[in-house]
Amino acid sequence: MNKASVIAYAKQLARCSDLDDDTLDIYYDDVMETIAKDANAPFMDAAQFTITSGTATYDYASDALVLHAVFVHDKILAPARVSDLEAYNDAWRSLSDTPYAMTEDELTARTFMLIPNPDTTSDSLIPVHGEPFGEDYPDNIGVQLYAESPDDLPDWVSTCVALRILALDFARPSEYQDVAFAEACTKLAEVFWKGTGL
């Protein structure tokens, strides 16, 4: 089901004509982001990126909703906060070496920064047959592991999302506020979600 279908499905489940499409649209985005932040998010993908010597900032993959991890060569980079980096070394932005950490700016630019600045450039990525354990991957290649928001949700996810949307909408102050119904939707969404094994 696409976004519009999930919203229409939520309205059918609620049997309430007063629901506002714009509000439900916002709640849909919120629910999808909440699902994507979960370490067991069902819609994960990975994208390779080429690292350039002296360039620390890179963009999220185009379909990334939430970035979960960044790998450089064969190591996962530790997430770091800017305040921690500044406490460690005031000149952290000018350091140059093999990256061991990353920080992200997902609120504005949807970018992440490798710490310290890479001192080598990745070899070209030439698709070949795919050796076991990535033996044919070029040296110093970067990989983003992220949760995406698919265009079409499977039916089992659509039901969970529709119920979570209704829980948010009926819990807020409005003419049709119904806290008991919102709680029931939350509990039912949890039952569906746990029933999937995620």
DSSP 59-116: EPPTTEEEEEEEEETTEEPEE--HHHHHHH-TTGGG-EES--EEEEETTTT-EEEEES
Higher-confidence residue of 197 and 166: namely: 166
Quote the number of domains for the chain: 2
In this structure, are 120 and 187 located in the same domain? no
The per-residue pLDDT of the chain, averaged, comes to 85
Instruction: Answer yes or no: is pLDDT of 195 > 80.
Output: no
25 band by pLDDT with thresholds 50, 70 and 90: very high
In this structure, are 142 and 118 located in the same domain? yes
Per cent of the chain over pLDDT 70 is 90
pLDDT of residue 87: 85
In this structure, are 62 and 142 located in the same domain? yes
In this structure, are 33 and 85 located in the same domain? no
Higher-confidence residue of 133 and 65: namely: 65
In this structure, are 138 and 161 located in the same domain? no
Least confidently predicted of 33-37, 55-59, 178-182: 33-37
Q: Cα–Cα distance between 72 and 82 in angstroms, integer?
A: 20
Among 148, 163, 180, which residue terminates a domain? 148
64 band by pLDDT with thresholds 50, 70 and 90: confident
In this structure, are 19 and 31 located in the same domain? yes
Which residues is 147 bridged to in the sheet? 44, 66
Which residues is 72 bridged to in the sheet? 75, 142
pLDDT of residue 140: 79
Segment 75-87 mean pLDDT: 87
In this structure, are 67 and 157 located in the same domain? no
In this structure, are 129 and 105 located in the same domain? yes
Residue 130 belongs to what domain range? 44-148
In this structure, are 171 and 112 located in the same domain? no
In this structure, are 144 and 189 located in the same domain? no
Segment 49-62 mean pLDDT: 90
pLDDT of residue 197: 64
pLDDT of residue 48: 87
In this structure, are 57 and 91 located in the same domain? yes
* Angle at alpha carbon of residue 124, lines to 92 and 72, rounded to 5°: 35
pLDDT of residue 131: 66
In this structure, are 68 and 132 located in the same domain? yes
pLDDT (tens digit, 9 = 90+) per residue, 85-139? 888 888 888 888 989 899 987 566 789 999 998 998 887 766 666 666 666 667 7
pLDDT of residue 112: 92
